[in-house]
Structure 1
């Protein structure tokens, strides 16, 4: 079943609950929905994990964890998916989302700096933040929505395949 496939890659709920760094959350981590593997919980985790991965803000994992606690979806999957943007992938992802936002807003292109310094960064940030955020939010919604739909369809396909296999096994025994 899909549950067994996903469970292979996730940490045990008891292990996560015992982490000293997470003790400040208290009883929030004892909600079974945060670690339950069902179609709804996993699909929501895919949506929110991917959505927060595409946001160019500090503390993506904290925001994703708070959202997972709020909507009560699978916490480990949500946090794992935030790592879609990692030190190897964030530059091309955020460049693409910036270009999408710039295209939608019809914003001018940013010129290359003659010297990289803090003043140049602050000046250019005032120009690029709107296209970057718009492109990132739109991309996060679209790809997160595709992740949600894909997980719903994958889960359903996996269950139907298991039903057919059991039906075939029962008919072969008779």
Structure 2
């Protein structure tokens, strides 16, 4: 499993450093923080934060969840590949039961609290757009019709509750796993997170561009 993780990390790292992209300034400005080695090396704190972020976005009805998770993980200096991989929790096989479960949670919580949530029109339009975008060739819906025809306020509430609860449970569970099996998930990276020569080159180029802009 560890070898598989390292193989995937190396493939992703090399793809981001492709020779057709590495010298483009806009790409360097967009992804330069991704090349920090500490964001790719697995340890307790970075994996816990990255998996928490990934689980939060995994249950959100959003397109390109992995991109959102990767950007947020990068901003919080957590493990980027773990955050992006966690988004595979929601996939074409799990979306329907996941969305129905969120709708049920939202309706139960709203009913127990006596809340009469309004039907959120912009959210309903967004769900219809997602359904049309991801509808399969045989006519199967990406978003269940029960949700599209029901109260989207309940579904929105259930989505927030499930995302927050899943994220809140993930962080301590990763720390518990690291405490029980530290040889699989150490508290600190086994290798020092030294800055790569490629990263030093990018930083030097960015500083040179900043100095050139100030001189103009």
TM, length-normalised to structure 1: 0.71
Matched, 1:9 2:37: no
CA contact (8 A) 2:73 2:83 kept: yes
Matched, 1:152 2:149: no
Report the number of matched residues.
146
Find the counterpart in structure 2 of residue 96 from structure 1: 101
Displacement of 1:157 in angstroms is 1.0
Displacement of 1:7 in angstroms is 5.3
Displacement of 1:138 in angstroms is 1.2
Deviations 1:135-168 (A, max 9, x none): 1121112122222111111111112899xxxxxx
Find the counterpart in structure 2 of residue 32 from structure 1: 37
1:49 equivalent among 54, 73, 82 = 54
Change (3 A) 1:152 1:130: same
TM, length-normalised to structure 2: 0.58
Matched, 1:18 2:13: no
Matched, 1:80 2:85: yes
Find the counterpart in structure 2 of residue 70 from structure 1: 75
After superposition, where does 1:154-169 map in structure 2 within 5 Å?
154-159=177-182
CA contact (8 A) 1:49 1:77 kept: yes
Change (3 A) 1:70 1:105: same
Moved over 4 A (4+): 19-23, 124-127
Displacement of 1:33 in angstroms is 2.5
1:129 equivalent among 145, 149, 152 = 152
Find the counterpart in structure 1 of residue 207 from structure 2: none
Change (3 A) 1:161 1:69: closer
Comparing 19-28 and 29-38, the one that deviates more? 19-28
Deviations 1:56-80 (A, max 9, x none): 1222122111111110111101000
Distance 2:41 2:2 in 1: 11
What secondary structure sits across from 2:5 in the alignment? coil
Give the root-mean-square deviation of aligned CA atoms: 3.0
What secondary structure sits across from 2:66 in the alignment? helix
What secondary structure sits across from 1:12 in the alignment? helix
Distance 1:154 1:83 in 2: 21
